[in-house]
Amino acid sequence: MASSANCIFCKIVKGEIPCFKLVETEKTLAFLDIQPLSRGHAVRACHPPPFDTTHPGHPLVIPKHHGEKLTDIPDDSLTELLPIAKKLAIASGAKDFNILQNNGKIAHQEVGHVHVHMIPKPNEQEGLVVGWPQQATDMEGLKKLHEEIKGRL
């Protein structure tokens, strides 16, 4: 399994840095993000009732295999990411939530190790805020892109 000596998430996997561990398997680790976008909900996965909904936290799910981008990780090391994110969403009790996975600095990836965020969206102000600047559809351009991508698959 690939690892990077300078990667903070690899250090967490090795136990060199502590974390609020939620789920661990042979291939995957889930823990609370220490710089969360959303408050509450996620702590339900690690605290018994009554839940402390003012405590900040949202889970991250990472493959133990080190890779900066999704395309750097072997497929067999990716198989548990979404099923675990789903379990965390259910355990958190979040009615609305985002599943987010960024690749590269300009795509807002802060840590150079693949990770999936399960971000509760308890209200309009908390959680992930997404702008989606839609563009007019260019059907000929879309047809060309479709052909290019299919040709590379």
Q: Where are the alpha helices (DSSP H) in the chain?
A: 8-14, 81-92, 139-152
What lies within 8 Å, CB to CB, of 2 at 6+ separation is 65, 66, 67
115 is catalytic: yes
What are residue 151's phi and psi, to 5 degrees?
A: -65, -20
> CB count, 10 Å around CB of 49?
6
* CB within 8 Å of 8: residues ≥ 6 apart: 17, 111, 113
Considering the candidates 58, 66, 115, 117, report the single residue annotated as catalytic. 115
**Cα–Cα distance for residue pair 143/138, rounded to 1 Å:** 9
Give the catalytic positions in this structure. 115
